[in-house]
Amino acid sequence: MARFSGIVSDIDGTITHNDRRLSVEALKAAHMISGRIPFILASGNTLCFTRAISVMLGTRSPLIAENGGLLLTSYDGDPILIEPRMSELKAALAVLQDHFDLCIFDSRDRVTDVSFAKTVQKEEILPFLSDFKNIHFVDAEYAFHLTDKNICKGDALSRMSEMMNMKPKDFVAIGDSNNDIDLFQAAGLSFAVASATDAVKKEADHVLQKGFGDGFAEMIDYLIQNDLIELEDERRDYYF
């Protein structure tokens, strides 16, 4: 099997426990590879949250936030915005709010999608979105999202890897939620943690024995033991 020169990982449920506490084992694994290989976080979280976790993990790499709507290529640089059809997103949200009492997340920080708590069944929501052809409903396990259909983690990885003079197939991807499926399809090798959804497990090249952040640590150990990733001897930044 070919060796890979980058890692791309989801955050919630992939490097955390079920309650979103950062996994100590995932933290240890991240610190072992930090600065020795491009390590991109690709999250549905806001940019400020994703950037903070990136710093704490020591990824020293670009990142992807809001399910692919925002790309940050340098530590202190301005993010690249993948412009959404925000008027249609807001219209879809307004329709849902007419029928449901939604708890909106990060309303002041989100700029490319809408996120809200899973207090309503997905099956109840979907019929009200049928008229919004450009809007994608995403069940990210820890929240529901309304996103532009042209924005996803997989496309963001393709954009980011091109800017890094790499290819998306150079990356190993890991995740747990349905919004990671297109990321798996873009990457060269994919892993689902044991706690992932059935749809994610079906799409993954490998299903790990451990769940949540312990699964991330298991993947890093597997990649190293089988000589599947290229780790540099000297640590450096991969920002550009």
Range of the domain at 129: 86-148
Is 153 annotated in some ligand binding site?
yes
**So what's the pLDDT on residue 74?**
95
Whether residue 107 has pLDDT greater than 90: no
Is 139 annotated in some ligand binding site?
no
Say yes or no: 68 and 93 in one domain.
no
Distance CA 237, CA 225 (A): 24
Say yes or no: 110 and 135 in one domain.
yes
Q: Give domain status of residue 235, yes or no.
A: no
Say yes or no: 156 and 220 in one domain.
yes
Say yes or no: 24 and 140 in one domain.
no
Domain final residue pick, 114, 148, 182: 148
**So what's the pLDDT on residue 2?**
73
Whether residue 53 has pLDDT greater than 80: yes
Counting residues of the chain whose pLDDT is more than 70, the rounded percentage is: 100
Is 180 annotated in some ligand binding site?
yes
Q: Which tens digit of pLDDT belongs to each residue from 122-160?
A: 999 999 999 999 999 999 889 999 999 999 999 999 999
Exposed/middle/buried for residue 89 (C-beta within 10 Å: 0-12, 13-18, 19+) = buried
Edge-to-edge strand list for the sheet holding 135-139: 104-105, 114-116, 144-148, 135-139
pTM of the model: 0.94
Say yes or no: 93 and 141 in one domain.
yes
Q: Which tens digit of pLDDT belongs to each residue from 164-223?
A: 999 999 999 999 999 999 999 999 999 999 999 999 999 999 999 999 999 999 999 999
Q: Tokens 């710093």 identify what position?
A: 55
Say yes or no: 137 and 188 in one domain.
no
Q: Give domain status of residue 90, yes or no.
A: yes
Which residues touch 152 (CB under 8 Å, ≥6 apart)?
67, 68, 136, 179, 182, 183
Q: Give domain status of residue 36, yes or no.
A: yes
Say yes or no: 51 and 110 in one domain.
no
Number of domains in the chain: 2
Whether residue 1 has pLDDT greater than 70: no
Which residue numbers are catalytic? 10
Residues 163, 107 contacting (CB under 8 angstroms)? no
Q: Give domain status of residue 17, yes or no.
A: yes
Q: Give domain status of residue 114, yes or no.
A: yes
pLDDT averaged over every residue in the chain: 96
CATH number, domain of 156, equals 3.40.50.1000
Say yes or no: 169 and 137 in one domain.
no
Q: Give domain status of residue 240, yes or no.
A: no
* Identity of the amino acid at 203: E
Of 163, 214, 171, residue with least CA distance to 193: 214
Say yes or no: 207 and 167 in one domain.
yes
Is 176 annotated in some ligand binding site?
yes
